[in-house]
Amino acid sequence: MSLPRIAVDAMGGDEGVRVMVEGAALARRRHDRFKFLLVGDETRIKAALENHPNLRAASDILHSNDVITGEDKPSQAMRRAKTTSMGMAINAVKTGDAGAAVSAGNTGALMAIAKLALRTMPGIDRPALAAIMPTLGANDVVMLDLGANTDCDARNLLQFAVMGAAYARIVSGLEAPRVRLLNIGTEETKGTDALRDAAAALKAATDRLAMQFDGFVEADKINRGEVDVVVSDGFSGNIALKSIEGTARFVADLLRRSFASSLRSKIGFLISRPATELLKHHLDPNNHNGAIFLGLNGVVVKSHGSASAVGVANAVAVTARLLEENLIERITADLASIAANGTANGVEAAA
């Protein structure tokens, strides 16, 4: 049985058509059930497909020569949504021509167009941007929100926790992911009113949801492997994400500089190369590529703009898995459990 086809914004990202098509082709070679709708300049897409006959046989092309750039404001992108490759890929999800959309384009524009076209799910006030990050534990950690909503109340955080746990159950295979709220301390008295109210609501609802709520987590513990889902407002989450990514690049550059500082260091590098290659693989964002806008009536996945073909292939694979594992239905079921318990209304009253 084949999955619903995936609409790919072939014009998005730093290198556009070449990398997006090559990534889709790599995903297709790994999983031959994938079908694609490639959206963008037809001439360029057909030229790129000449090197990938397997992908060509599994793809349709939807022509668009209008591209949303990194400089376009979300408001500008929304006005041009009907003619751009990004907007047309998302519209294919809305009309049912595709089961999901993948783009490496402008994040703000992608969120704005997706929210306008697909709308938020019943029971969700705001969609959230979620991504997977490496840890020292057996499973990666899901973190949200990473920038879609700078200011959030307790109700928003509760909804983010429900969506993040459903996502984690799919990507990690855990039946009850460990969920924590990002805070400046782990004590129950720490943090804002919104954080404390959300924590109280999650404690009250956790026995009805497929998750373990373990209170708060500090930013330095995000990657330790002690938590499966980290929930935050978009402002704090984006800062934490950028800090983690910056630290990873700092460590990698520092090691590179140290190993090149002397002949002895170069010899040491050769001896330790297997370990450093493993570290490089673990920190490479291409191996964890594919952030998703949770809470929409459809699956929309954001690839890094600078992703390689391997990174794009991983984003496509994440997209297909979310379709296969019925992410939207899982979130809907969990929201129904909260509504039946009256938890959401309780949070609203407390706020």
Reported confidence tier of residue 277, pLDDT bands at 50, 70, 90: low
What pLDDT is attached to residue 154?
Answer: 93
What pLDDT is attached to residue 269?
Answer: 57
Locate CATH 3.40.718.10 in the chain: 1-118, 122-294+325-351
What stretch of H or E contains 120?
none
CATH architecture of 1-118: 3-Layer(aba) Sandwich (3.40)
Reported confidence tier of residue 30, pLDDT bands at 50, 70, 90: confident
Instruction: Give the residue, 281 or 328, on which the prediction is more confident.
Output: 328
What pLDDT is attached to residue 351?
Answer: 40
What pLDDT is attached to residue 287?
Answer: 67
The backbone region for 260, taken as left when phi is positive above 0, alpha when psi lies in -120 to 50, beta otherwise, is alpha
What pLDDT is attached to residue 264?
Answer: 66
pLDDT at 42 over 90: yes
pLDDT at 214 over 70: yes
Query: For residue 60, what are its two tokens?
Result: 């349709």
Domain at 122-294+325-351, CATH homologous superfamily: Isopropylmalate Dehydrogenase (3.40.718.10)
- Percentage of the chain with pLDDT > 70? 87
Length of the chain: 351
Using a 10 angstrom Cβ sphere, with 0-12 exposed, 13-18 middle and 19 or more buried, the burial of residue 276 is middle
What pLDDT is attached to residue 346?
Answer: 47
Q: How far apart are CA 102 and CA 12, in angstroms?
A: 9
In the predicted model, what is the mean pLDDT of residues 219-240? Answer: 91
Instruction: Give the residue, 311 or 245, on which the prediction is more confident.
Output: 311
Q: How far apart are CA 119 and CA 123, in angstroms?
A: 12
